[in-house]
Homo-oligomer: A and B are copies of this chain.
Amino acid sequence: MLELMKRDGLARICELTTAHGKLETPVLLPVINPRNITIPPRELYESFRFRGLITNSYIIRNDEALRTKALSRGVHELLDFPGTIMTDSGTFQSHMYGEVEVSNSEIVAFQRDIGTDIGTVLDIFTEPDWSRGRTSEAVDVTLERTREATALKGKMMLAGVVQGSVYPDLREGCARSMADMAVDVHPIGGVVPLMETYRFADLVDIIIASKKGLNPSRPVHLFGAGHPMVFALAILLGCDMFDSASYAKFARDDRLMFENGTHHLADLKGLNCECPACRMHTLESLKELPDQERMQTLARHNLHVSKREIERAKSALLEGTLWELVEMRCRAHPALLDGLRRLKEHKQFLERYEPLSREGSFFYTGPESLDRPCVFRYERRHFERYEKPPQKILVGFQEGQKPYGRAYGPEIARISKSADAHFLVMSPFGPVPIELDELYPIAQSLFPRLNDRETLERTNELMERFAHLQEYGISVIYDGERTEEVLAALSDGPSTFDVDLARVKAVCDYQFGGGAGNMLMNGQVSLVKSKTTGKIRNVLVDGAHVLSMRAGDGFFSLRPEGAGRLLQGMPSPKLRVIVNPDSVEFNRQGKNVFSNFVIDCDPQLVPMDEVMVVDENDALVAIGRMILVRDELVAFKKGLAVKVREGVASQPLARTT
């Protein structure tokens, strides 16, 4: 059973409950070779605090002593590990040596009988060089065996492996078929040869294809991914579990893993590592250790670095800086950069899970930053939802003229505060109408002054598309050299109320959908502004408090009065989460909505969206922020769905107007 605790896009921190305790994901399971143990499992548990490991049931089964002990005392006692044990089935051995002498039913039953927490189907390892036809047939066999295994698994959790070689449609099809079976964990298999040859762009395609097909309430395990270089990227794409034999294999070759690559001990010119294994050593003392001790020390180093990298990615997720971390990590090797650049092809899928806003600022790290889904979100919503106001249009250029921190500076903001002229700022996000300039990620972004060619061309292309779409006649070009001219072209009237109203409308349309502004602002609008910043805080219509603007991300929080207007104006299930009767009273008291109480919701809602919680009769029950998207809401049997900010007593406003 998986419960989502925190998320950022596809990336997530979850709790996986197993028969031997809980795992907080993303998690790395060290691989233990039961015939050749590098680091004792007890040390992994107690000193490293690993709560899970993976071992190989095929090896145990083929060794008489191990088999006998595993069957009589269980695999946990065999390995002396009290945490979660996952076992592989022999599939990797079939990849390495061509064949294995065991049937699927035998090895699944064996895993169950030795008390494995998570046992794995004997899937067919689909090699990257296989034809489509051969791959498709192999996937069918894997699906068949998975079905067979579900009947045998007993109380053991079952890992059903997504296969399909490098064919994304076969991967997605395989994943989708398994989503309907009684499977608990989904390894993505057959990817080791791709990682060994640094084919990270293909890896990205495969992970995303698998995620598209899978049931989002089950953990995804990237089988054989054990290098800290790839963890951040894989976590960004929603991988929850990793396993690593590399820590030991690399150590045997005198190689040290780091989050930026691998270094052979002989090539290092300094040991700049403070991990518990290295801190007692200088580079020289490490080199002089006896073979076995050096190998173990390097293996411990590799595990520490790997574990720390997962912890760092988790922290970045929580701090809202995971994209920045991934973009930084992918500079470590040009092949990883190819993987990063491949994300561009998947931005529509990624945008489905992209939160409305996040806490961290948007830091540009290179042209790739503009392919993040939050940029695509802005581009799409701006083109789809924004309506051109009646005023004259002026265009300003951000590039090179203003200090860091804002897409443009106070000067442009000042000259735009006129009802006669409407200001459009050229930014790396494309054209930004002045009404949207406080929205995430526009105002929360940092770019270099000097942009790369890709960014400049992108800006120009977006401007052309926008001008064409909106049938704009551009009146004045502001290029940083002609401030006075622009200022003279503007009547700098003192009244900015019309501009403020245009902002409220534009943000409403952007956030809630086209037409939302008119619904919410129908009547006599008045604004409460912050005395310190002069920014809009509250929107009142006919004296009732309808919306509050958030200083952090520039979006609105809905008030019950506003929710009533949207309920009336927008057909169900738009902007709604519909809860079952058992939940209604709790939510009216301001308690959160849990996924098992949800009947349905608007499929367009994204994480962190403002959402109206309603009962089956469309009566308003509460207002809150969305945690899950619809697919997840349907799939998760446990956990938070909507973080309620305000419960609404019965006889809600929507019914009384």
Chain A residues engaging chain B, CB cutoff 8 angstroms: 197-198, 201, 260, 267-270, 272, 274-276, 279, 304, 308, 311-312, 314-315, 318-319, 327-328, 331-335, 337-338, 341-342, 363-367, 403-404, 446-450, 452-454, 457
* Distance to closest chain B CB from A232 (angstroms): 12
Residues of B close to A328: CB separation below 8 A: 260, 328, 331-332
Other A-B contacts than A197-B403, A201-B449, A272-B308, 9 sampled, CB-CB below 8 A, are A267-B319, A268-B315, A269-B314, A272-B311, A274-B274, A274-B276, A274-B279, A331-B331, A331-B366
Minimum CB–CB distance from A282 to chain B (whole Å) comes to 12
The 9 A-B pairs with the shortest beta carbon distances in the complex, nearest first, are A270-B315, A269-B318, A331-B365, A274-B274, A334-B448, A338-B448, A453-B454, A272-B312, A337-B448
* B335:A404 contact, CB within 8 angstroms: yes
Q: Kindly state the separation between the CA atoms of A648 and B449 in the bound complex, as whole angstroms.
A: 56
Chain B residues contacting A449 (CB-CB under 8 Å) are 201, 338
Q: Is the CB of A270 within 8 A of B312?
A: yes
* In the bound complex, CA of A449 to CA of B340 (Å): 12
A327 adjacent to B335 (CB under 8 Å): no
Contact status of A446 and B274, CB under 8 A, knowing A268-B315, A315-B269, A453-B454:
no
Beta-carbon nearest neighbor of A446 in chain B: B334
Neighbouring B residues of A367 by C-beta, 8 Å: 366-367, 452-454
User: What residues on B are CB-neighbors of A365 within 8 Å?
Assistant: 331, 334, 337
Question: Distance in Å from the Cβ of A256 to the closest Cβ of chain B?
Answer: 12
CB-defined contacts of A314 to chain B, threshold 8 Å:
269-270
Contact of A308 among B274, B275, B331 (CB under 8 A): B274
B-chain residues with CB within 8 Å of residue A364 when the two chains form the complex:
334, 337
Residues of B near A308 (CB, < 8 A) are 272, 274
Q: Which residues of B contact A338 (CB under 8 A)?
A: 448-450
Instruction: Tell me the bound Cα distance from A51 to B256 in angstroms.
Output: 30
In the complex, residue of chain B having the shortest beta-carbon distance to the beta carbon of A310: B272
Copies of this chain held together in the complex: 2
Q: List 28 A-B contacts (CB under 8 A).
A: A198-B404, A201-B449, A201-B450, A260-B328, A267-B319, A268-B315, A270-B312, A270-B314, A272-B311, A272-B312, A274-B275, A274-B276, A274-B279, A276-B279, A327-B331, A331-B365, A333-B446, A334-B364, A334-B446, A334-B448, A337-B365, A338-B449, A341-B448, A342-B450, A366-B367, A367-B367, A367-B454, A454-B454
Q: For the complex, what is the distance from the CA of A449 to the CA of B403, rounded to whole Å?
A: 35
Q: Which residues of B contact A275 (CB under 8 A)?
A: 274
Cβ-defined partner of A450 (8 Å) among B269, B272, B341: B341
Chain B hits for A363, CB < 8 A: 333-334
Q: Report the Cα distance A449→B198, complex, angstroms.
A: 11
Give the Cβ gap from A580 to chain B, nearest Cβ, in Å.
34
Kindly list chain B residues whose C-beta atoms are within 8 Å of the C-beta of A453: 367, 453-454, 457
Nearest-Cβ distance from residue A425 to partner chain B, whole angstroms:
18
- In Å, the complex CA distance between A10 and B449 comes to 26
Taking each of A269, A314, A363, which has the highest tally of chain B beta carbons within 10 Å of its own beta carbon? A269
> Which B residues touch A334, using CB under 8 A?
363-365, 404, 446-448
Cβ-closest chain B residue relative to A267: B319
Residues from chain B with a CB closer than 8 A to the CB of A312 are 270, 272
The CA of A363 and the CA of B341, in the complex, are separated in Å by 16
Q: A270 touching B333 by the CB < 8 A rule? A: no
User: CB within 8 A of A269: which of B269, B319, B341, B366?
Assistant: B319
Nearest Cβ distance between residue A276 and chain B, in whole angstroms? 7
- In the assembled complex, which residues on chain B have CB atoms less than 8 Å from the CB atom of A274? 274-276, 279, 304, 308
Residue of B nearest to A304 (CB): B274
- A401, chain B: closest CB distance, angstroms: 13
A268 with B319: CB separation less than 8 A: yes
Give chain B residues whose Cβ lies under 8 Å from the Cβ of A341: 448, 450
Q: How far is the CB of A27 from chain B (nearest CB, A)?
A: 15
A43 to chain B, nearest CB (A): 18
Q: How far is the CB of A239 from chain B (nearest CB, A)?
A: 19
User: What chain B residues lie within 8 Å of A198 (beta carbons)?
Assistant: 404
Residues of B within 8 A of A304 (CB): 274
Interface-central residue, A312, A319, A365, by most chain B CB under 10 Å: A365
Which single residue of chain B is at the shortest CB-CB distance from A198?
B404
Contacts of A446 in B (CB 8 A): 333-335
* A403: nearest chain-B partner, CB-CB: B197
Shortest Cβ gap from A12 to chain B (Å): 14
Question: In whole angstroms, how far apart are the Cα atoms of A333 and B332 in the complex?
Answer: 17
B residues less than 8 Å from A319 (CB atoms): 267-269
**Within the complex, what minimum Cβ distance (angstroms) separates A386 from chain B?**
26
Among A279, A315, A364, A403, the most chain B Cβ lie within 10 Å of the Cβ of A315
Chain B residues near A311: list those with CB within 8 A. 270, 272
The answer for the CA separation of A365 and B368 in the assembled complex, in Å, is: 12
Contacts of A452 in B (CB 8 A): 367, 452, 454
Q: Is the CB of A448 within 8 A of B331?
A: no
Assembled-state Cα–Cα distance A157/B381 (Å): 64
